Structure formats: C-alpha cells, structure tokens
Structure 1
Amino acid sequence: MELIVLWDIDHTLIENAGVSKEIYAAAFTALAGAGPGEPARTEGRTDRLIMRDMFQRNGIAEPDWPAVEAALTSAGADRLHDLSQRGTALPGVRDVLKEASVHSGWVSSVLTGNIAANARVKVSAFELDSLLDLSVGAYGADALQRPGLVAVARERAQRLRGVPDDVPVVLVGDTPRDVEAALATRSGIIAVASGVHSVEELAAAGAQAVLPDLTDTERVLRILETFAAH
C-alpha cells in the first residue's frame, strides 16, 4: 500500500546541539549589522516566521525574503562541520529511515521549517540524506505556516514520483505544531517525544500515535502501515 511519510528534522531525526540558533543569529547579524537581542524562537515554526519574528522583536524592518534566505544558506553552510562534530542523529533514526526508504510503495521525505539548503546540511551532516527522497520534501521557504507545507510535499510527490493524489500522508515530528499541521490537513501523525515536549503534551495536542523515540523500528513501521491501510 502506498504512503507518503514526511519526517521533521530537528529533534525528530537529529539533535542540532544549538547550531540552529547559531545559524539564525548569524543570518540576522549579516543582515542587520548587529546580533539579535535574544535567541530565535523556533518550536516548529518555518524559517520565514522565525526570521520575521527576530526582526520584529529587535525593531528592525524585515529584509526581502531572497536576502534572508541567502543569509540563512550561507550561515548553514558555514556550520556543517560544527553540526557534524557537536550534534548527532537521534537513536533509532538511521534504522527506521533505511527501512522506510526501501518499503514498497512508500515515499519517505521531509517536512521541515528549515529552508531546503539547511535541511540538506542537517541530514547530510549525519549521512542521512541518502535515506530520504529530499526532492519531494517541503521546506521553510515553501509556505509561511507549517500546514501549508503538506500540500507542497504532496504536489511534489505527484509530479516527481507519480504518486496518486489520494495516497495517505503521515507526518512524524516532535512538536504540537507538527500535530496541528497533520490535523489541519487530515494527515496521519506520529508524534515523538524526543524534543522538549512530553508524551502527555503531544497526546493532548491530538496526536494519533505518540512514541518516546524512534528506537523501536518495528513499532514505527507497524504504525505507518496502519496509516497506509486507511
């Protein structure tokens, strides 16, 4: 049975060890000429919203998006080595991505608030890029709000992989915003308490399945197969 599986990156697939906040700060500094007064607020937001919020909170007019995206791209590329040294792929991720990538009829990609260039930096830092079909993913420049990314990924899966438009979509993520995006688009959701949100918080947000982590490959695959069967 066919399925589109879309994985969040930060705190779902990888631990970035603070590098994400450094990327936003560096991009802000490059554009504003001075550092931000406080760190970026992330928590499942898209890069468009994260950077807009930083400029607003610091009382600075938001630059045009192409300039912001270019600054984020440069800052991310500069920190690939730091990320690979300080961060890590989370437990179980490599195994579950490998199994999903070879599962008959499944498209396994990402749905992330990161711009595409930095999403690739983050997964390639831990050699996860070969296990994901990144060309059909949805990224932080593709929509302002996270729910809008689901339609982007579905359209790319249809256009690039010939996936029918009625194939189920499942999101896998660690924040209530991942859950909200799934519920708003009638997608499946596996919430993973590998970030700052507890199992209880994610269940309260409405997640259909909540796991402490992705270490139980067989369990994750069984849950995904139940969504594929709907």
Structure 2
Amino acid sequence: MELIALWDIDHTLIENAGVSKEIYAAAFSSLAGREPSAPARTEGRTDRLIMRDMFLRDGLPVPKWSVIEAAITRSGHDRLDDLRLRGTALPGVHEVLKAAAARSGWVSSVLTGNIAANAHVKLSAFGLDSLLDLPAGAYGADAELRPELVAVARERIQQLRGVPADVPVVLVGDTPRDVEAALATGSAILAVASGVHSAEELAAAGAHEILPDLSDTRRVLGILESFAGTY
C-alpha cells in the first residue's frame, strides 16, 4: 500500500521551547532596526504570513520576501545551539519516523510553515532530519496558505519519487490549520494534541483521528496504514 505522510514540525515532532518566536523577533529586528511590538503569532501559519503580519502590525513597510527569508535563515542558524539546549524531540517521534521511513511504498516527508533552512535546523537539532525525505516536502517559502502546500508536496513527490497522483496523502499535525489544510485538499488527517490545541479543538476543526502525542508507535502506524488502505 502506498502513502504520502506529511508531518508538521513544531509541537508535532519537536518542542521548540520558544526558540521559534525568538527567530522571528531577531529577523524582524535585523530588518526594522528595533524590536517588534509583540511576539510573532504562529498558530500553524507559514513564515510568509508570520513575518508579513509582524511588519504590518507595527505599521512598517514589508520587505521583499527574499530579504525576509535571508534574515530568518540567519536567525535560525544562529539559534541551533539554543534549540538543542532548550528544546526536545517529542515522545515517540524517533521511533515512529523510523518506522514510517522503513515502510515500502511510503513517502514520509514534512509539510511545515517553516522555511526549508529552518525546518532543517529544527529537525537536525534532534537527529530527525535523516528520518525524513526532506527534498520532497513543502515549506513556508512555497506558499502563503497551508492548504496550498499540499499541492506543492504532492507535485514534488511525483517529480522526485515517481509517486502516482492518486496515492493517498495524510497530514500529521497539532493545529486546526493542519486539519483545515487536510479537509480542503481531500487529504486524511491525524491530529495530535501535543501543542497548545486540545483534542476538543482539533475535533471541532474536523479531525476524526486524534492522539495525545506520537508516543504509541503501533497505534500511529495503524492509523496511517488505515489511510493507505481506505482513504
């Protein structure tokens, strides 16, 4: 059975312990010449939206995306050691990603609001980068809205891995935006209440399969297998 499994990163695979918001604040400060008036609003949004909204909220012109991307790349790289010191991979993540990577016919990659450079920083900080097919994923520089990233990932996987267009896709994430992206694109969703959103909030957004985290490898793989076989 073939399957495309696309994993969110922050609060799904890792706990960043506030480092993400520090990355955005540092990037903003380097471009604006002063600190932002308030922390970045993340909530499953893409880096394009997060950074644009920070400038608009503070009444400043929005720099070109290429300039913003370079700034958040630098600030992400600079905080790798902080992330290793303060953050962690969430329970069961190493085991479940190893198991997914070993499944014949599966492509296991990421769908994240992070730009690719910072996705790599966050995953490599905890030894997760080698367990995912990162070139085939979709990232925060690829589109503004999360549902648009699903088509990006599917096209990349077709081109890079030769996977047929009708192979089922399942998103694994911790926010209502992950759920909404799945529903809007005809994808399956495995929601995990390992971030700030409760199981009730995820269910209200439309998720039917919800776990507290990814610690039960057998159960996670069983749910993913059910999507491969029936979705």
- Secondary structure at the aligned position of 1:42 is classed as coil
Shift of 1:216: 0.5
Residue of structure 2 in register with 1:168 after alignment: 168
Residue of structure 2 in register with 1:157 after alignment: 157
Q: Does 1:104 align with 2:104?
A: yes
Contact 1:188–1:208 at 8 Å: present in 2 too? no
Equivalence map 1:1-230=2 (5 Å): 1-230=1-230
Q: What TM-score, normalized to structure 1? A: 0.99
Taking only the aligned residue pairs, the percentage that are identical comes to 77
Q: Deviations over 1:4-61 (max 9, x none)?
A: 0000000000000000000000000011010100000000000000001100110000
Shift of 1:162: 0.5
Please give the alpha-carbon distance, in whole angstroms, between the structure 2 residues aligned to 1:200 and 1:211: 11
Please give the alpha-carbon distance, in whole angstroms, between the structure 2 residues aligned to 1:75 and 1:30: 9
Shift of 1:208: 2.4
Q: Deviations over 1:170-198 (max 9, x none)?
A: 00000000000000000000000000000
Aligned length, in residue pairs = 230
Question: What is the one-letter code of the residue matched to 2:121?
Answer: V
Q: Deviations over 1:126-158 (max 9, x none)?
A: 000000000000000001100000000000100
Please give the alpha-carbon distance, in whole angstroms, between the structure 2 residues aligned to 1:103 and 1:129: 17
Shift of 1:2: 0.4
Gaps of 5+ in 2: none
Question: What is the one-letter code of the residue matched to 1:226?
Answer: S
Over the aligned positions, Cα root-mean-square deviation in angstroms equals 0.4
Gaps of 5+ in 1: none
Question: What is the one-letter code of the residue matched to 1:24?
Answer: Y
Please give the alpha-carbon distance, in whole angstroms, between the structure 2 residues aligned to 1:82 and 1:202: 30
- Secondary structure at the aligned position of 1:126 is classed as coil
- Secondary structure at the aligned position of 1:229 is classed as helix
Shift of 1:91: 0.3
Please give the alpha-carbon distance, in whole angstroms, between the structure 2 residues aligned to 1:40 and 1:17: 14
Please give the alpha-carbon distance, in whole angstroms, between the structure 1 residues aligned to 2:74 and 2:9: 19
Q: What TM-score, normalized to structure 2? A: 0.99
Question: What is the one-letter code of the residue matched to 1:101?
Answer: A
